[in-house]
Amino acid sequence: MMVRAAWGVLALCLPGAAHAYFDGPLADRDGGGELTCRECHFHDESLIASGSISISGLPDRFEPGRTYTLTLHLTHPDMKRAGFQMSVRGKTAAQAGELAGGTGIKILRHGKSGVTFAQHDENGATFVDDHAASWVIEWTAPGDLPTATIYAAGNASNGDDSVLGDVILLFSRTIQKAEGLD
């Protein structure tokens, strides 16, 4: 009884604690700005090392206007449910290119920053059996920027529908425009 009362008080005090973000995280939590999903999910930092987040399909150098098929991969031995948020930004943190997604992904533009985010939707916050999840995102590279940085946050959730015990993994990689392509 005492534990239930304590959880109830904690749920009222923590932002978002009573609401699991099945339909996607709050905007701008992928690590490209000042915030990450770690502001709402509370986890043990020592659990990060046993998980991984990666993006396959990224070029060594991007060609302006070309569309790349990227796959975000998230693994963790304790993961029961998974989610993510991703953006691609230029040097000034402004949008770099365009993002598109298919099943399980929604695209939204943050009103304040104008940055577009790809993130899981309610169907994309899947339960996993093999401790791994992945999502396919299309990125059309910018034509007018010398570099683009891909930011992503993945939520390796323990599946208990709370913000406690999840592991948030972060990814970033900067890619330069291919030389001689202006």
Q: What is the pLDDT of residue 75?
A: 93
Query: Buried (b) or exposed (e) across 95-127, using 16+ Cβ within 10 A?
Result: bbbebebeebbeeeeeeebebbbbbbbeebbee
Note the pLDDT of residue 12.
35
For position 6, what pLDDT does the model report? 36
Beta bridge partners of 152: 86, 171
Backbone φ/ψ region at 66: left (φ over 0), alpha (ψ -120 to 50), beta: beta
List the structure tokens of 52: 């991984």
| Predicted pLDDT at 92 | 81
Q: What is the pLDDT along the chain (182 residues), one digit of tens a residue?
A: 443 433 333 333 344 433 455 555 656 556 566 655 555 656 666 666 788 999 999 999 999 999 999 999 999 998 898 889 899 999 887 899 999 998 889 998 877 778 898 998 887 777 787 899 999 999 999 998 999 999 998 888 887 776 667 888 889 999 999 987 55
Separation CA 79–CA 155 (nearest Å): 9
Q: What is the pLDDT of residue 26?
A: 56
Looking at residue 5, what is its pLDDT?
35
pTM reported for the whole predicted model: 0.80
For the chain, list the domains and their CATH numbers: 25-177 (2.60.40.680)
Residue 17, pLDDT score: 39
